[in-house]
Amino acid sequence: MYISAAVLSVILAFVALAAGMPKTLLKGSVPAQLQSPGGLSASLVRFIGLAEVAAAVGLVVGLFWQPLGIAAAAGFAVLLVGAVRFHARAGDYANPETRGNAMAPIILTVVAIAAAVTLTLAM
């Protein structure tokens, strides 16, 4: 069970870091898209990015101290539920052009929950 937890944690950590760094630095197209049509402030986008980076760190450290990994995976799942809500409000699930990108938070929420459960069972 620990191997499954480790694989899920590492995958989530890479995804969280890749998603969080551009938002933290406010560089690239994603932060700009969140700010203009989404109406999020730059400080909120940076906070979301920092939360994603913190989740990545927590998931990696959680491989050695599982309570932190469980908390990081659960926190990342909550953050992803917020992303799903954001995409739903923006109408991304109804638009065939944006539906593909909007599905990522749904899939990652399931993976984050699975990581939290497997880390719990591996204790």
pLDDT tens readout for residues 31-67: 667 767 667 788 888 899 999 999 999 999 999 999 9
Using DSSP's 3-state secondary structure scheme, residue 119 falls into helix
Whose CA is closest to 93, among 106, 82, 80, 81?
106
Res. 99: pLDDT tops 70 = yes
Look up residue 86 and give its amino acid.
F
- The answer to whether residues 45 and 19 touch, using CB atoms and an 8 Å cutoff, is no
Q: How many domains would you assign to the chain?
A: 1
Q: For 85-97, write each residue's pLDDT tens digit.
A: 988 887 878 888 8
Using DSSP's 3-state secondary structure scheme, residue 102 falls into helix
CA–CA gap between residue 60 and residue 54 (Å, rounded): 10
Q: Name the DSSP letter for residue 40.
A: -
Provide the residue range defining the domain that includes 38. 2-122
